[in-house]
Amino acid sequence: MDNSSDGIVFVLQGVNDTRTNRQIYFALALLTYLLTIFVNLMLITTIFLDKTLHEPMYFFICNLCVNEMLGASGFYPKLLVDLLSEFHVISYTWCLIQVSVIYNYILCEFTNLTVMAYDRYVAICKPLQYQSIITPQRVRRLVLLIWLVCILEVSVGTILTSILPICGYEIDGLYCSNVAVVKLACTDTTLNRSYGYITIISYVSQGVFIVISYIYIIRASLRSKAEQAKFMQTCLPHLITFINFTISLTFDVMYVLLGYSNTHVVLRNILAVQFLILPPLLNPVIYGIKLARIRVSLMKIWNLKLRALT
């Protein structure tokens, strides 16, 4: 099979393995997708409508929500179609598009969480300098940098994959991943694997930066009860989000490395896509519940909307 031909298709074996109860899986997937879009849009809309929330931290939260809707939309629509179809195939082009969207979601999520950690570090450890350091101009530049860097990294990885001659067609999973496509290449993939390792190392370093930031934040928070309250209100939701995403992504990495060959197929598929299901759904809920200002604004704005409709 040569990737220069237009007729290349991959078979998604993860969907083929799910032969029974597809209507139930479809209903659950559709409900989860709709809930994911709903909670993210509600949070974005609330922050947009309440001018008191037009601050850097909430702007970064909006950016996180946009990225999570992007990641969910790169996964769910194709899965929903496959669950209602007898043939679970994806063209080579659409496979690379899905790879780009999902990996862009992963990298942007991590980079956005890193920027948010920096924002919270300045807010807690250097409160008097916060306004001069985290300016509106710098916030816009940071958000632009998040997207440009991630898109560039994903584009390079996708291009390196696209030039590989492909000799297989079965992908062991529910969606196209870069690792799965590279495994089907009938040539040396050292360059691809090296680039993958470099990308992983760069994002592990971001994770280390987040951990170090929180060491300083926690130390600073111990100085007074006011700082502790500020940490619980503004930093704890971000820390929970970081842990949630990291654990979910770890399941996917373990799936790639170990394969879960002795695990039931349904459980194996769920574990492999945790990072596409839990963070996009739970993160907006975490921020909506834990951040008092968002919680109050949510109740105020949507109560007014409901009263206007009745």
Q: What is the spatial distance between Cα 99 and Cα 116, in angstroms, rounded to a whole number?
A: 26
Structural domains of the chain in order of their starting residue, each with its CATH number: 9-309 (1.20.1070.10)
Q: Is the pLDDT of residue 226 over 60?
A: yes
Write phi, then psi, for 90 (nearest 5 degrees): -145, 135
State percent of the chain over pLDDT 90.
Answer: 47
Tens digit of pLDDT for each residue in 294-306? 888 888 877 766 5
Tens digit of pLDDT for each residue in 114-160? 999 999 999 999 988 999 999 999 999 999 999 999 999 999 999 99
Q: What is the pLDDT of residue 30?
A: 96
CA atoms 142, 144, 145, 147: torsion sign: positive
Is 132:205 a contact under the CB 8 Å cutoff?
A: no
DSSP conformation letters of 96-165: HHHHHHHHHHHHHHHHHHHHHHHHHHHHHH-GGGHHHHS-HHHHHHHHHHHHHHHHHHHHHHHHHHHTSP
Burial group, residue 226, by CB count within 10 angstroms (0-12, 13-18, 19+): exposed
Average pLDDT over residues 185-191: 90
DSSP secondary structure code for residue 208 in this structure: H
Q: What is the spatial distance between Cα 247 and Cα 165, in angstroms, rounded to a whole number?
A: 34
Q: What is the pLDDT of residue 2?
A: 47
Map tokens 């390079």 to a residue: 156
Neighbours of 57 (CB within 10 A): 21
Average pLDDT over residues 43-54: 91
Residue predicted with more confidence, 271 or 96? 96
Average pLDDT over residues 76-104: 91
Tens digit of pLDDT for each residue in 11-30? 888 776 666 778 888 999 99
| Per-residue pLDDT band at 255 (split at 50, 70, 90) | low
Is 148:241 a contact under the CB 8 Å cutoff?
A: no
In this structure, of 8-17, 66-75, 105-114, 143-152, the range with the lowest mean pLDDT score is: 8-17
Average pLDDT over residues 56-65: 94
Map tokens 């001659």 to a residue: 165
In this structure, of 2-6, 102-106, 254-258, the range with the lowest mean pLDDT score is: 2-6
Q: What is the pLDDT of residue 133?
A: 94
Average pLDDT over residues 255-280: 71
3-state secondary structure of 10: strand
Q: Would the pTM count as exceeding 0.85?
A: yes
